[in-house]
Structure 1
Amino acid sequence: MGSKGHYRYHWQSHNVKHSGVDDMVLLSKITEDAIVENLKKRYMDDYIFTYIGSVLISVNPFKQMPYFGEKEIEMYQGAAQYENPPHIYALADSMYRNMIIDRENQCVIISKILMTT
């Protein structure tokens, strides 16, 4: 069990062949095609958040998603980045801790990239 009584998440816990990888540094080849294919697999299975190292990529699902409730806030608060699936709350919590504990300045870049398939 993870902290706060939740089942401990493991990055290999879901079908990688079907749903892609949580962190694209784990791809066997890091190419534009491999990245797009991984994001497409994850998007098709409603995994809208994906890491590439410490960077979080979010694909707009163009629909309401159940990823932003009290349960998610509790799950990501104080957890290590890889303790749970990729999520904007993990990034926000990590940045908050770096800002408060390590007294490091933080910066978030939000960029829109239009992709066609």
Structure 2
Amino acid sequence: MGSRGDYRYHWQSHNVKQSGVDDMVLLSKINEDAIVENLKKRYMDDFIFTYIGPVLISINPFKQMPYFGEREIEMYQGAAQYENPPHIYALADNMYRNMMIDRENQCVIISGESGAGKTVAAKYIMSYISKVSGGGPRVQVGHME
């Protein structure tokens, strides 16, 4: 689709549908009810990713979502976390940059119930890193039960 420069940051667009808050630290009250309500509101509008500070919450939609193509890779590659809507690619890009620029080892903890989408999430992270690196860094994957 063109370079990242062709896109406006999501907060600069006037036609971006807002559903709940992207980062739950911005909730007026942070309690279980407010968190559940925000996640439910976002899920009902197919926003499956939400931040709570540096943590990414992902809700398995149990259906194919159009959020994982080349356009999204271009949007998130090299972008700051809050330049685009919450996404697993933002997390993966931050990890990749820390690994390559700062030479820091990276670890991702993916937690959830059986069927929550942990394996799929891990595959999206590995796929993103593979695409942006051109097959570059060696990525080790560990699995914890």
TM-score normalised according to structure 1 size: 0.82
Query: How far 1:58 moved relative to its partner?
Result: 0.4
What's the % identity of the aligned pairs? Answer: 91
Q: Counterparts of 2:25 and 2:95 in 1: how far apart (Å)? A: 21
Q: Is 2-11 or 80-89 further displaced after alignment? A: 2-11
CA offsets per residue over residues 53-85 of structure 1, 9 Å max, x none? 111000000111000101111111111110000
Give the unaligned 5+ runs of structure 2: 111-145
Q: Is the 8 A contact 2:49 2:59 kept in 1?
A: yes
Give the unaligned 5+ runs of structure 1: 111-117
Q: Is the 8 A contact 1:2 1:8 kept in 2?
A: no
Count of equivalent residues? 110
Query: How far 1:15 moved relative to its partner?
Result: 9.6
Q: Kindly name which structure, 1 or 2, has the bigger radius of gyration based on alpha carbons.
A: 2
CA offsets per residue over residues 77-110 of structure 1, 9 Å max, x none? 1111100000000000001111111122211111
Question: Which 4+ runs in 1 deviate beyond 3 A?
Answer: 10-18
